[in-house]
Amino acid sequence: MVKKKTCIFISGNGSNLNNLIKNSRDYVFPISVSLVISDNPSAGGIKFARKNSIPFILINTKTRSYENKILQNLRKYKISIICLAGFMKILSKKFLSNFRYKVLNIHPSLLPKFKGLNTYYRIIKNKEKKTGCTVHLVNEKLDGGKIIVQKSFFISENDDEKKLKFKTQRLEYAAYPEAIIKLLRYTNS
Ligand code: GRF
């Protein structure tokens, strides 16, 4: 199987990155993690790139041309899929429109509910009965593109933010690989 070269964008712990690296070792999983991009030099996830000898690039998002630097590297490494996994920057409309790559994101809520930051806090405050995670295509609207996979669970009375995060992320580790397989099957490329 010819695997699609994929770049994972991170800003933090990188547990989804680690999960995708593990999945990609499976012979029939359709992507290889070929590049990691981080906008945060102290992102914990960088260790997973190092450990697995995957090239990683640090991007300084304070410079004006950082999206060009990203594009150059995506071309250099022949990337055809991008997976955002806890990447805290919004990619511009121009970046996305220049783009022949497929871009996915994972968000810790049942979109379109609870777009944006502080998701777990708002879910608890709103006394939601159910929550989960969503993998969606990225467009220029925050957490707004077509939904590919969504997984949910019922919230218990004693779930706090920490427990919600734990339960949500456990679902994320199943949802992201599933979404990648689904996307590539649909688009047949
Ligand atoms: C994930 O829970 C994802 O939903 C959100 O950011 C978190 C990243 O976690 N967008 P990790 O860095 O993959 O551990």
What pLDDT, in 10s, does the model give residues 61-70?
Answer: 999 899 999 9
- What's the rounded Cα separation, in Å, for the pair 104 and 147? 10
CB 132 near ligand 1, within 6 Å: no
Delineate the domains of the chain, giving CATH numbers in brackets: 1-99 (3.40.50.170), 106-189 (3.40.50.170)
Atom number in ligand 1 closest to CA 133: 4
% of the chain at pLDDT higher than 70: 97
Integer Cα distance of 46 and 55 in angstroms? 10
* Mean pLDDT, the chain, whole residue set: 94
Q: Which of 136, 140, 83, 142 is nearest to 110 (CA)?
A: 136
Q: Is 14 in the pocket of ligand 1 (CB under 6 A)?
A: yes
Q: Could you tell me the distance, in angstroms and rounded to a whole number, from the CA of residue 62 to the centre of ligand 1?
A: 22
Q: What average pLDDT does range 155-175 have in this prediction?
A: 97
Kindly list the strands in the beta sheet with 130-137, ordered across the sheet, starting from the edge strand earlier in the chain: 56-58, 31-38, 4-10, 81-84, 102-107, 130-137, 147-154
Q: How far does residue 108's CA lie from ligand 1's centre (Å)?
A: 7
Is residue 164 over pLDDT 70?
A: yes
Percent of the chain with pLDDT over 90: 86
Can you give the pLDDT at residue 14? 98
List pLDDT tens digits, range 122-142. 999 999 999 999 999 998 887
Residue 184 beta carbon below 6 angstroms from any ligand 1 atom: no
- Pairwise CA distance, residues 23 & 19, whole Å: 6
Contact at 8 Å (CB) between 29 and 41? no
